[in-house]
Structure 1
Amino acid sequence: MGTEAISSREIVLLSNASSNEKPSLVIEPTKGLFHVDLLEIWKHRELLYFLIWRDIKVKYKQTVIGASWAIIQPVMTMIIFTVIFGNFANIPSDGIPYPIFAYTALLPWTYFSQAVTRTSLGVLGNSVLITKVYFPRLIIPIASAVAPLIEFCLSFLVLTGLMAWFNVVPTWGIVLLPLFLLLALFTALGVGLFLSALHVRYRDVGHSIGFLIQFWMYASPVIYPLSLVPEGWRFLYSLNPMVGVIEGFRWAILGKVNPDLVAMGLSGGMVVTLLALGILYFNRMERYFADVI
C-alpha cells in the first residue's frame, strides 16, 4: 500500500517514559466508509483556499479578457438558445420572456457542469500532491466544486441586468436562492467524488465527462419548462437532481410559476443520495490513489 493507506485522523502520542523522547505523529486509517473528518479539513483550510485560488488563477492565466469569459459563455449560450429554441422551435417558457427564462436555468447549470468537470479531473490532476504530501484527500474535490462559485457570482450580474430590462421584480423567494445553490454544489460534489475516484482507475472517465454533461443538460429543464414533460414521465424525470435545482432557481428569482413540490422533493432526495454514495465510494477508493496514480 502507498501513502493513501493513511487517512485524515492524526493522533499525537506524548511519551512519559523519557523527557528527551520526541512526540510521535501517528496517522490512522479512517473508521467507517461514510467518515468525513470536518475538523481535519478545517485544519487544512489554508490548503483549501490555495487550491481554490490556484484553479481560478490557472484557468484565466494568459487570457486577454480574463474572468470575462465567465460571463461570455452563459450569455452566448442564452442567445443561441433564444434564437433556436425560443424563436425557431417556439418552445414555451411559462409566460416568461425566453432570454431570462433560459438564462435563469443556465446559471446553475453552467456552475454544475464546470464543478463536475473540475471535480472529476481534480484527483488525477493533483497526483503529485497526493503521492508526496499528507492532507485530507476530500480537500481536492471540495476545492474543485467551490471554485466555480466565483464565476457564478460574475454571471449573476448579467441576470440583474436582464431582470431590469424585462421589468422582472424578484419576490420573497429569492432569499431561498442560496439553498438551491447549495443543492447544486452538493449534486456536483456527489457526482464529482464518484467520477474522480473512478477516473483514477479508469482513464476512460475523462473522455466521457463531456458527453455525460451534454446528455444531462437535455435531460434537465434548461431549454424547456418542467410543464412540458408528460405527467406519466414526471416521476422518473424528477429523479434528476438538477430538476429541483433549476426549478427552484426559476421560482426563487422569477416567481412566476409555482414550483412542483413533488418534483423538487424527489430531486432533493436524489441530491442527498448522490452525495452519500459519492462519499462512500471516494472513501473506499482513496487509500489506493497513490498506488494506482
Structure 2
Amino acid sequence: MDDRGDTLSVFSDLKGSRELLHNLTMREIKGKYKRTALGQLWSLANPLALMVVYSFVFAIVIRVQPAPGDPSGLDLFVLWLMCALLPWTFFSGIVNGSMGTIVGNENLIKKVYFPRSTLIFANTLSALYQHLWEMLILVVAVLVLGSNVLIYIPLVAVTMVLLALFATGLGMIFAVANVYFRDVQHFSGILFQLWFYASPIVYPAELVKEQSESFGPIAFGITIDNLYQLNPFIHFAEIFRNLLYDARWPDWSTFGLVAAGSIAVFFIGWKIFDRHQDHLAEVL
C-alpha cells in the first residue's frame, strides 16, 4: 500500500465511522468521571499534584533554576514546568490509553465489526479535549502574569495537533504489540518513566549540554548531547516553552522537523495498525 493509499484509508475509516467515533469519544469524556462530585475538574488533579511535587523537589530542594523567559521576562518555575509537563501528560496519556483501549474493549471487538482504529481515535480526541482545558488555564495564568502570548496561540494549537499525531502513531504500534504480547503494558510503564527523566521537563536542557561539554565525546566524536537530542519530546518541550514561556517564535527548522516527524510516525503507526486490525478479534 503506497502513502496515498494509507492516507485515503485513514480518512475512509474516519468518514465511515464518524458517528461511532463521536459516540465513543463522548463515552470516554463523560464516562471517565461519571458520578463524581467534581466531574471534569478531576482531570486537573493529576497535573496539579505533579506540579506541587516537582516544584517542591526541583525548585526548592534541588534548586533547579531555568533561565527567565526571553523576551517575556517570566521567572517562575511553576509556569516553566507546566509548559512541558502538560504536553508530556497529554502525550503519555494518549499512548498508554491507546495501548489499553483495544484489550479493554475485547467483548465489543469480538461481537461487532467496525474499524478498530475508531477506538484509538476516540481515545486521542477525548485526551485532546481534556488537554485543551489544561492549556487554556495555563494560557490564562501566563496572561495574568503579564506576558501577552495571544499571537502565538494558533501555533500552540498546531503543535498540540502534531503532538497528538505523534502520540497516536506510537499508540497504534503499542496497541497492536500489546494484543500479541501483554508484557508490553508492563514494559511501557518502565519506558515512560525513563523517557520522562530523559526529557527536559523538570530540568533545563542546557544542563545536559553543559555536562556533555565537560565530559567530551563518547566515541567517534559523538557526545552525550548528540544522543540526547534524538529524543523527539525534547523538541516538543522546546517549542511549547518558546511559545508560552518565552513569548517568541520557535526555531523554524526545529518546528519543520517536528512536523515532518510527527506526520511520518502517525502514518507508520497507521500502516502497522491497519495491517493487523482485521485480525485483532482472533488474537484477543
The aligned residue for residue 205 of structure 1 is 184
Residue 156 of structure 2 corresponds to: 177
Q: How does 1:72-83 map to 2 (within 5 A)?
A: 72-83=45-56
The structural deviation recorded for 1:264 is 4.5
The two structures have a TM-score, normalised by structure 2, of 0.83
Q: Which residue of 2 aligns with 1:128?
A: 107
The residue type equivalent to 1:233 in the other structure is I
Aligned to 1:98: 77
Q: Residue in 1 aligned with 2:71? A: none
Q: Distance in 1 between matches of 2:93 and 2:10?
A: 26
Q: Residue 285 in 1 paired to residue 276 in 2?
A: yes
Q: Quote the sequence identity (%).
A: 30
Alpha-carbon RMSD: 2.3
Distance of 1:62 and 1:219 partners within structure 2: 38
**Unmatched 5+ residue regions in structure 1?**
1-30
Letter in 2 for 1:277: I
Question: Deviation string for 1:66-114 (max 9, x for gaps)?
Answer: 2111112212211221111112212232213101000111221111121
Query: Does the aligned pair in 1 maintain the 2:162–2:259 contact within 8 Å?
Result: yes
CA separation of 1:113/1:220 partners in 2, compared to 1, >3 Å: closer, same or farther? Answer: same
The worse-fitting range, judged by mean Cα deviation, of 31-40 and 80-89 is 31-40
* 3-state SS of paired residue (1:254): helix
Deviation of 1:273 after TM superposition, in Å, equals 3.6
Contact 1:78/1:102 (8 A) holds in 2: yes
Cα separation, 2, equivalents of 1:272 and 1:38: 14
Question: Which blocks of at least 5 consecutive residues in structure 2 are unaligned?
Answer: 69-74, 213-222
1:228 to 202, 207, 213: 207
Q: Does 1:59 align with 2:32?
A: yes
The residue aligned with 1:109 is 88
Q: Which of 86, 89, 93 is 2:59 aligned to? A: 86
CA apart distance, 1:163: 1.6
Aligned to 2:133: 154
Q: Structure 2: how far apart are the matches of 1:262 and 1:235?
A: 17
Q: As a proportion of its length, which structure holds more helix?
A: 2
Contact 2:102 2:175 in 1 (8 A): yes
Higher Cα Rg, which structure: 1
Cα separation, 1, equivalents of 2:122 and 2:148: 34
* Aligned mates of 1:87, 1:255 — CA distance in 2: 22
Q: Is the 8 A contact 2:98 2:120 kept in 1?
A: yes
**Residues 222 and 246, structure 1, Cα contact 8 Å, conserved in 2:** yes
Distance in 2 separating the partners of 1:215 and 1:279: 25
* Rounded Cα–Cα distance in structure 2 between residues aligned with 1:90 and 1:169: 28
Moved more, 153-162 or 37-46: 153-162
2: CA distance, partners of 1:55 / 1:258: 34
Call closer, same or farther: CA 1:276–1:43 in 2, change over 3 Å.
closer
What letter corresponds to residue 114 of structure 2 in structure 1?
Answer: F
Q: Helix, strand or coil for the counterpart of 1:229?
A: helix
Q: Give the alignment partner of residue 168 of structure 2, picking from 186, 189, 202.
A: 189
So what's the TM-score if we normalise by structure 1?
0.81
| 1: CA distance, partners of 2:78 / 2:264 | 33
- Which one-letter code corresponds to 1:63 in the other structure? T
SS at match of 2:146: coil
Structure 1 partner of 2:242? 251
Q: Match of 1:16?
A: none
For residue 32 of structure 1, report the CA deviation from its aligned partner. Answer: 6.0
Taking a change above 3 Å as real, the CA distance of residues 257 and 224 of structure 1, as seen in their structure-2 partners, is: farther
Q: For structure 1, which segment, 44-53 or 272-281, has the greater mean C-alpha deviation from structure 2 after superposition?
A: 272-281
What is the CA–CA distance in structure 2 between the aligned matches of 1:142 and 1:209, rounded to whole Å?
A: 20
